[in-house]
Structure 1
Amino acid sequence: MKKFLLVLVGVIIVFVVFKSTSKTDKVTHHIKGVIANITRTSGLINKNGDSVSTRVLLPDGYKRVPYEKGSFQEYLRHYQLKAYGSKIINYDDTEYFAQDWHEAILEVPVPSNGLQQCADALMRIRSEYLWEQNKKEDIGFNFTSGHYCSWSKYAEGYRPKIKGNKVSFHKTAQANTSKTNFYKYLNLIYTYAGTLSMYHELQKITVDDIRIGDMLVKPGSPGHIEIVVDEIVNEKGEKMYLLAQGNTPAQSVCLLKNYGNASSAPWYKFTKNDPVDTPSYYFDKASFIRFK
């Protein structure tokens, strides 16, 4: 009888925990990710692949959507990855508590200052692409206040004077176009821009028009944002996508698993106005924005 009572109490506890974690908030999805990882693994992962396009294989009947060589889309699709099994590491060199959300870690350095959080990591990737393509004059972002801050002006020595929501720029430093100064500029952007400013600044994209480089976003303070890093299509014109994210606290940029579609994971499908459930965040609808 004692053994029976202990088993009964255990069942009740499990039921209560399940009910208490059934809400669609961020903590819930941490728990869902842990549970799903025990029972679901993707058969589309090539452990030897060292880039997004070589790590994730294609479901039957699909092919990759072609993009122009040198485009931002191709840049993301061929982004280099760390070795299979690499962990998500926080800015302070500690391991993130959730190591079951990702299929891969992108080769994006994480500064020890803790500033490079979810939106910041994506702005860094975009800025580094423009730098490598010698399109430095296109590097620039709005602060949350709405004021535009460009790399070109920063390199000339202009710095913002910020008082509340008022921002003015003054030449207070010597001109410096070095890569070191470029990363100082990005630290400034990380401080005064983010998910909310990106949402207000950038073009809104419908689900039917999604392409690599577009970002799934929930604006807010805090909100969250993830970026499309690959795109495939079948003969019916049906498309699927891969998602990657930075996160808070500042940490490794990772390619996300998909626990909601076991047959084609980690590929995602998006439907207008439908929610998107990713391992780390629940988006109540598929809302996308695009870099300029």
Structure 2
Amino acid sequence: MKKYILSLVIAVALLLILKNSARGKMAGNYIKGVVSTVSIKPDYINTSGNSISTRVLLPDGYKRVVYENGSFEEYLRNYRIKPHGSKIINYDNSEYFAQNWHDAILEVPVPSNGLQQCADALMRIRSEYLWKHNRKGEIGFNFTSGHYCSWQKYAKGYRPKIKVSHVTFHKTASPDYSKFNFYRYLNLIYTYAGTLSMYSELQKVPLNEIKIGDMLVKPGSPGHIEIIVDEAINGQGDKLYLLAQGNTPAQSVCLLKNFENASISPWYRFDKNEPVYTPSYYFDKTIFIRFK
């Protein structure tokens, strides 16, 4: 009888723990790794798809919003992804503990230095798009201090001298416009920029105007940021979106599932006065920003 009662007590305790932790929510903050195991039917996943647009299918009545060829929106929508079933890998080549959060891994290399975290991965994607489309003069970001650091100035040999929050630039290196030097520049950006600087620098976008390429952000140290990588609309004008993220520690950039609305996962809806729950983060407000 005692064994029976003890087993019953343990079972009840476990149920209470699971109930309290399953949703992984904490008002005003995020909890990484606390998420329920949710069974999601892969209705909208084409396992043979090798890009975001071919991996994720559309719900009935929806069509993809059309954007101009060569645009950043089309670049993201057609971003190459790894084979279905690929895992989230950390910068040190270890497997991330949560492998049930994603439906795709984007082909974004993860440097072994550990610098390329959530905001950094998105700045890399944007910079590589500008590089590829011969718009290198537009590559540049503010440091958290507010000082602007452009690729052009870095390529000419200028390097920042930083004293607390005071930054000056001095020509201390030979000009180098190579792709190798471009990634050294990005490492500098990863070091001195992040979600807080992006939030301060970039345009805020009203919810009814968001589109592919806009980023859901919670500024802070730490904060978090995720990017819209696809967009669909139905005949009533209702829109759905796909979200991707880098993360801390530096790791694979992944397309996120939607545990809060599993019936449309990995698609998301956003409401002005509603928080957004993604597998690794709780956004208490729907704040979106847009690259220049």
Give the TM-score band, short-chain normalised: over 0.9
For residues 6-85 of structure 1, what are the structure 2 equivalents within 5 Å? 6-18=6-18, 20-21=20-21, 23-24=25-26, 25-27=29-31, 30-33=33-36, 35-36=37-38, 39-85=39-85
CA RMSD in angstroms, aligned pairs only = 1.3
Q: 1:158 is matched with which residue?
A: 158
SS of alignment partner, residue 5 of structure 1: helix
Instruction: Give deviations 1:208-247, integer Å, cap 9, x for gaps.
Output: 0010000000000000000000000000000000000000
- Conservation of the 8 A alpha-carbon contact between 1:42 and 1:266: no
Instruction: Give deviations 1:87-138, integer Å, cap 9, x for gaps.
Output: 0000000000110100000000000000000000000000000000000000
Instruction: Give deviations 1:128-169, integer Å, cap 9, x for gaps.
Output: 000000000000000000000000000000000000000000
Residue 30 of structure 1 aligns with an amino acid whose one-letter code is: G
Q: 1:259 is matched with which residue?
A: 259
- Conservation of the 8 A alpha-carbon contact between 1:226 and 1:244: yes
- Conservation of the 8 A alpha-carbon contact between 1:276 and 1:284: yes
Give the Cα separation in 2 of the matches to 1:26 and 1:205. Answer: 23
Instruction: Give deviations 1:59-99, integer Å, cap 9, x for gaps.
Output: 00000000000000000000000000000000000000110
Give the Cα separation in 2 of the matches to 1:70 and 1:232. Answer: 19
Give the Cα separation in 1 of the matches to 2:82 and 2:18. Answer: 35
Residue 99 of structure 2 aligns with an amino acid whose one-letter code is: Q
For residues 1-292 of structure 1, what are the structure 2 equivalents within 5 Å? 1-18=1-18, 20-21=20-21, 23-24=25-26, 25-27=29-31, 30-33=33-36, 35-36=37-38, 39-292=39-292
- Report how many aligned residue pairs link the two structures: 288
- Conservation of the 8 A alpha-carbon contact between 2:40 and 2:265: no
Give the Cα separation in 2 of the matches to 1:131 and 1:65. Answer: 25
Residue 204 of structure 2 aligns with an amino acid whose one-letter code is: K
Give the Cα separation in 2 of the matches to 1:16 and 1:244. Answer: 32
Give the Cα separation in 1 of the matches to 2:258 and 2:49. Answer: 18
Quote the offset at 1:265 in angstroms.
1.0
Give the alignment's TM-score, normalised by structure 1: 0.96
Give the Cα separation in 1 of the matches to 2:132 and 2:163. Answer: 34
SS of alignment partner, residue 208 of structure 1: helix
Quote the offset at 1:19 in angstroms.
5.5
Judging by fraction of residues, say which structure has more helix: 1
- Conservation of the 8 A alpha-carbon contact between 1:42 and 1:262: no
- Conservation of the 8 A alpha-carbon contact between 2:40 and 2:263: no
SS of alignment partner, residue 200 of structure 1: helix
**Cα 1:254/1:164, change in 2 over 3 Å:** same
Quote the offset at 1:260 in angstroms.
1.3
SS of alignment partner, residue 32 of structure 1: coil
Residue 192 of structure 1 aligns with an amino acid whose one-letter code is: Y
Quote the offset at 1:23 in angstroms.
4.5
Q: Structure 2 regions of 5+ residues with no counterpart?
A: none
SS of alignment partner, residue 34 of structure 2: helix
Give the Cα separation in 2 of the matches to 1:159 and 1:206. Answer: 36
Q: Structure 1 regions of 5+ residues with no counterpart?
A: none
Give the Cα separation in 2 of the matches to 1:23 and 1:74. Answer: 33
Seq. identity, %: 69
Give the Cα separation in 1 of the matches to 2:262 and 2:95. Answer: 27
